[in-house]
Amino acid sequence: MQKNRSFNELNLNELQNNFFSKLKAMGRSQNTLKNYKTDLDCFNQYLIKNEGETDITNFGMPQVQHYGQYLEKKYSSDNSRRRRVQALRIFFDYLVEENLFESNPVRKLPTSPKFLDIPRPTPFIDVKTLWVSLLEEATSNNEMNALIARRNQIVMLLIYGAGLKVSDLSKLKTSNIFLESETPRVLISHPKRDPYTIALPKIFTQVFEEYILKLSDMKIKSSINFDELLFNANPYRILSGSLSPRGLEVIFEEYRKKLQITLTPKSLRQACIFKWLHQEHDETSIKEWMGVAPTYSLKLYKEHMNNYIYNENFLGELYKNYLSKA
């Protein structure tokens, strides 16, 4: 978008589409873009219902206050109101950056306090079910199917073992894995924070080495090379390095339907957080591994610890059991 263009040249729909394009270029996941669109659609509907049009040329403090009152009536959930305000604030920040607004009027609208949802982790029995399924699939006579299963084993270990988000996984390179010490670790880098490492289950080393060996062979057969740890493939060959956040979510959706289990990347990650607490890691370390601020509260996790008990022992035991059968 060119600087200093007037609202007469750009309608709200075009402004928002440009905003979404910028977020996509910044690497935001498809799920994040979908959430922003949902939140801004609420604002658009408000304008049409209360203003009769979507012109925001003169959108200022009075309109901001009216929108705040509209959200108070429309949503009983503090988190829902908070999300709508945050999305609109970020959108107007974008308009300020494009010199279409001198300042952001939405920054004067207070957000509702954030209330954390009760954790709903993947049940321990379902974690085991997933791991067994991945081990069985890795014994397939089809070379590509076996390799994809090994890739998915790595994904599971990085989420259940180290609490990684799909956004972290999609960017991960093979060089981010360190096996030198007795405990394997994964390096996480963020543009606004110092890099840090997270310990992985001991069995990760063996799973990783087997995966890299098979992956190297398939790279040669597919005439492709890449630095990313994960890959995208069809039934016959590797197509590219890395997997998008949405691609990772689809993998979990497929296993959830196939195995009839409670499973999302988020629920498996929450299981990892409970596992860390039962392993008696200190809160400071857990918050760093989660990638959250020191002020983040683990209160809800602690309150539900007795209901959700997890460990890592079964990972190595089952893996070695399947190796002995192979």
Cα maximum dimension of the chain:
71
Q: What is the pTM of this model?
A: 0.68
Give the ranges where the chain is alpha helix by DSSP (H): 12-25, 30-50, 61-74, 78-97, 124-137, 143-156, 166-171, 204-222, 245-259, 265-278, 283-290, 299-303, 313-325
37 vs 110, more confident: 37
**C-alpha to C-alpha distance for 171 and 244, rounded to whole angstroms:** 8
* Residue 98 pLDDT grade (very low, low, confident, very high; cuts 50, 70, 90): confident
Mean pLDDT of 5-11: 53
β-strands 185-190, 177-178: how paired?
A: antiparallel
**C-alpha to C-alpha distance for 218 and 168, rounded to whole angstroms:** 24
Residue 292's pLDDT is what? 84
Task: Please give the share of the chain, as a percent, with pLDDT higher than 70.
Answer: 93
Q: What is the mean pLDDT of the chain?
A: 89
103 vs 325, more confident: 103
> In this predicted model, what pLDDT tens digit does every residue of 150-164 receive, in sequence order?
999 999 999 999 999
Mean pLDDT of 172-188: 93
